[in-house]
Amino acid sequence: MSFKELVAAFEDAFGRNDHQALSVALQAANSMFPPGSEMQLAELAHLACLLIDAGSALRLPEPIKRGRALFQEKWECLKPIYGSAQLHYNLANAYKSLYDIERARSDWRFNLEGAALGFEAKSAYWRSLAASHVGKVTPQLLTNLANALDASGRVVDGFTTTSVRWRSLRNSGWPIAIVVWHCST
């Protein structure tokens, strides 16, 4: 299986919301690229994102941790290509996914390790926002930041971020129907 076919398998599984196919794609990724294997930077970044997204969808922390580690280990090499904003955003998604898995456990109780994951997610989203160019902030970033703030108990800050999102979308010329839809999700 080529890398292109692997990506297509992930995208097909995500598109159909097929967890079994996603598990198969995840196994294929692990056999094609065992930890420590060398790969092109573009493939590495794409694989890291796929691992984070698949781990999140399947509620499996190990692929998320591996995707996060790939970004952290190759940060300096990836930064000139993707920029700090995108890398922080991807790390934030990994931390938020791990935090959500932790909180979804039936025996979950507040603990420092879980709180640290939520704090890291919130902080990485803030760093992504700070590194974003004016006018280049995506609705997804602001939504995820607001959700991370809300999940960490900073509800008022979450509302403020949502308000900023509304203004930034409206001021950037988005049609009002799209702005309302984005702000309601």
With b for 16 or more beta-carbon neighbours within 10 A and e for fewer, the 87-122 pattern comes to bbbbbbbbbbbbbbbbeeeeeeeeeeebeebbebbb
Sketch the domain layout of the chain as residue ranges. Answer: 3-132, 133-185
Cα 160 from Cα 152, distance rounded (Å): 14
DSSP 3-state percent helix, strand, coil across the chain (nearest 5): 80, 0, 20
- Tell me the whole-structure pTM to 2 decimals: 0.76
> What integer is the mean pLDDT of 58-66?
92
With 80 as the cut, is the pLDDT of residue 111 above it? Answer: no
Phi, psi of 40 (to 5 degrees): -60, 150
Q: Is 185 exposed, middle or buried (0-12, 13-18, 19+ CB in 10 A)?
A: exposed
Tell me the per-residue pLDDT of 2-59, one tens digit each, with 9 for 90 and over: 889 999 999 999 888 899 999 999 999 988 888 878 888 889 999 999 999 999 999 9
With 90 as the cut, is the pLDDT of residue 69 above it? Answer: yes
Phi, psi of 19 (to 5 degrees): -70, -30
Tell me the per-residue pLDDT of 139-182, one tens digit each, with 9 for 90 and over: 788 778 877 877 776 555 555 655 565 556 555 554 544 444 44
Whole-angstrom CA distances from 6 to 28, 78, 131 are 7, 21, 31
pLDDT grade, residue 118 (50/70/90)? confident
> What integer is the mean pLDDT of 58-69?
92
Whole-angstrom CA distances from 109 to 52, 77, 113, 148, 155 are 24, 38, 11, 18, 20
